[in-house]
Chains A and B, each alone.
Chain A
Amino acid sequence: MNVAIYVKLVISGLALGSFYAIIALGFSMIFGVTRVFNLAHGELLLIAGYSAYAAWKTWGINFWLTIPIAILVLLAVGIVLYKVLSSIDEPLELNTIVFTFGLALFFQNLMLILFSANYRILSSPQWTKTLQVFGATITSGSLTLLTTSLLAVLILYFIFRHTFWGKILRATIQDREAARLLGINVNNTVILAFLSGMALVGLAGPFFASFHYIYPAGGMEATLIAIIITIVAGVGHVRAIIWAGWGIGIVENLVTGILGAAYREGITAIILIMILLYKPYALSNSQ
């Protein structure tokens, strides 16, 4: 294979990794602050995707205009969901696994009734425009994914590092009781973080519907991607999420391009296991 092919593989790996990172951001945020291990993350992503698809199909609006609609829908769902989740007792992580598993099944069947089992795509013709980078073609779709995920990560990073709310969030993630002793209103912080996480899922939904396809049972893979990236990156480390996403995307593409698609999952899994053995507290942790 010539160099241009490798460049293509790396660039499309970056785009794929950005796609993964967008999917994982909301999960990481919600899990970090609320300790809710959300197995219905993929289904929430689908709800956002279906909202965007329905708006696009009904009103014929531009892709970008579907994003605020999807975010609003997810915020509404988030308010109801938070009320329900807040009534769950300790041990929270374990109980929310059981609850959100049931919730995922409920959402799947609800979407099956509302949208049928057909595969849907939010078509956006602008994604097919191309430009040349080091002799390799990059599509506007890939570029959009890269830019959006970078922007989302940068904004979150700025909030986490350079705002008072970000400091409160980090303190709550690190030690909830200590944060409470310092006078932080942990409950309000958790609500805000949960809704911010839902808004991030709302942002990811239209991308999922446009760059992939949506169908009622299509959420499980997205949940797995989000869990893997959060484990590798570490909870609450937004910068590490994009590194983990890009890493997985590039490895998957290089393995497929050089060895074949049959080896993709196997080799990626081996690398992830090795990372966890070498850095058991995730990439972002110095231990």
Chain B
Amino acid sequence: MNLTKYLVLGFLVCIIGYLCATFQGCVKKSSSETIQIGEIDPLSGKLAKHGLEIHEGIVLAVEEINAAGGIQGREIKLIARDDQSLPEVAFANAQELIQREKVVALTGGYVDTLVGTISEAARKNKTPYVASASLQEELTKTNNPYFFRVSKLSGFVNPIVGFLTHEIKPSRIGILYASTPGSTEFAKKVRALLKVNGIAVPFLEKFKPGISDFSPLIFKMSNYDLDFIISGGFLPDHILFIRQVKENNYRLKGYLGPWGIAYQSFISQMKEDAELLFSTCAWNPGITLPGTEKKSREFVEHFRKRFNKIPNTTNMHGYTSALVILDALKRIDLNNKDLRENLRKAIASTDLVLPMEHVIFDDNGDPIDYNHVIIQIQKGRVVPVYPPERATGKPIYPMVDSKL
């Protein structure tokens, strides 16, 4: 036999082997011993960083439950799909997971443009969906009984307004916001509430996330004598904005960005430029819901072992959303014919105390008890400074000429 024949033979053996393995996999997949959960996240594209973080949290939750023997003796299988940060792909993924893979529920999702399309597919196919990161208030006002989420906009807005009104007490605030539905709604809500509390917002500017030059906005800001700036941008926007503020010698008195600052990756990239910036977080290795310290430590330990890094708040959002589904699965009869409908009802009646929040949903699928803590970066550490009952440090304001 010459070399070509050996190659052809080898190739055929590989193909047969592959087909056998696939066939075995199919048999396993269709086995009644497995319960399948679908996950859709931006695992590539411009939102990949946070999508991958959510994915890690979900993977850990599923692995933990399987290591503990599954649910009612059945293994939980997670089928993850990458929406490439594109809404149309997210919708197609949701349809495929529900109709072809027969998942009992969906989770994951980052930013409302993606979450919104998945929630519509969930409604259409009568399959419960617990979103990991979603804010836009519209989404839970569409009377969609299959949509739940573990985050909400007021969880950011109320602590920020409370912090500024009671702790910082500025006279004039500037708000920058990204042209995304969540950020736009955030800016408008914060502005309205600050006005009610007697704080003027003379500077309100929208920008496209990912722009490469903030200098014109910084020059413009310098005309307004602002006491504090809130930015509804994302991690890369903060990186550029703060750097360009320093380059242009703008004397920043106080800066708060709810998304992207309370991350180790931001602090390690920005180093001393991150000092004294304010942000918010729902959970952090050192910031957990009172009474959940043990659970929080276990999560950090398991996550560190599994992924060889310290988890952040986005990982926890993924973990929390997956735990909601897993907890509901424990409370229903898995042999029931109408599994998805029963699961939906079980999720709606969730009462679960987790490190990030005490998960209870209102009639619209919004979490009742999702509240962020205001933090400040002090000597490279994330220090909770508001509300007083959860603060471990005092806010340092103004930033200008402050010495740590």
By a beta-carbon cutoff of 8 Å, the part of chain A in contact with chain B is 1, 5, 8-9, 12, 16, 19, 108-109, 112, 116-121, 123, 127-128, 130, 137, 139, 141, 211-213, 215-218, 221, 249, 252-254, 256-257, 260-262, 264-265
Contact = CB atoms under 8 A, between A and B. Distances in A.
A117 B240 contact: no
Interface residue range, chain B: 35 or more
A118 B270 CA distance: 13
A119 B236 contact: yes
Nearest to A4: B219
A261 B208 CA distance: 8
Interface of B: 44-46, 48-49, 51-52, 85, 179, 205-208, 210-213, 215-217, 219-220, 222-223, 235-236, 239-240, 246-249, 265, 269, 271
A137 B244 CA distance: 12
A213 B247 contact: no
B208 A112 contact: no
A116 B269 CA distance: 14
Given A217-B85, A221-B210, A262-B206, A257 B49 contact: no
B236 A261 contact: no
A57 to B, nearest CB: 11
A117 B44 CA distance: 8
Contact of A261 (B45, B216, B222, B247): B216
Contact of A16 (B206, B210, B212, B236): B212
Nearest to B212: A212
B223 A212 contact: no
30 contacts: A1-B220, A5-B220, A12-B213, A12-B215, A12-B219, A16-B212, A117-B48, A117-B49, A118-B49, A118-B265, A119-B49, A119-B236, A130-B247, A211-B212, A215-B46, A216-B44, A217-B45, A218-B210, A256-B217, A260-B205, A261-B205, A261-B207, A261-B208, A261-B211, A261-B216, A262-B205, A262-B207, A264-B207, A264-B208, A264-B211
Contacts of A212: 212, 240
Contacts of B212: 16, 19, 211-212, 221
Nearest to B247: A139
Given A1-B223, A215-B46, A252-B213, 15 more contacts: A9-B216, A12-B213, A108-B44, A117-B51, A119-B235, A123-B269, A130-B247, A130-B249, A137-B248, A141-B247, A215-B48, A253-B213, A262-B179, A264-B208, A265-B208
A9 B208 CA distance: 18
Nearest to A16: B213
A204 B369 CA distance: 48
Contacts of B205: 260-262
B269 to A, nearest CB: 6
A217 B215 contact: no
Contact of A119 (B85, B216, B269): B269
Contacts of B269: 119-121, 123
A216 B235 contact: no
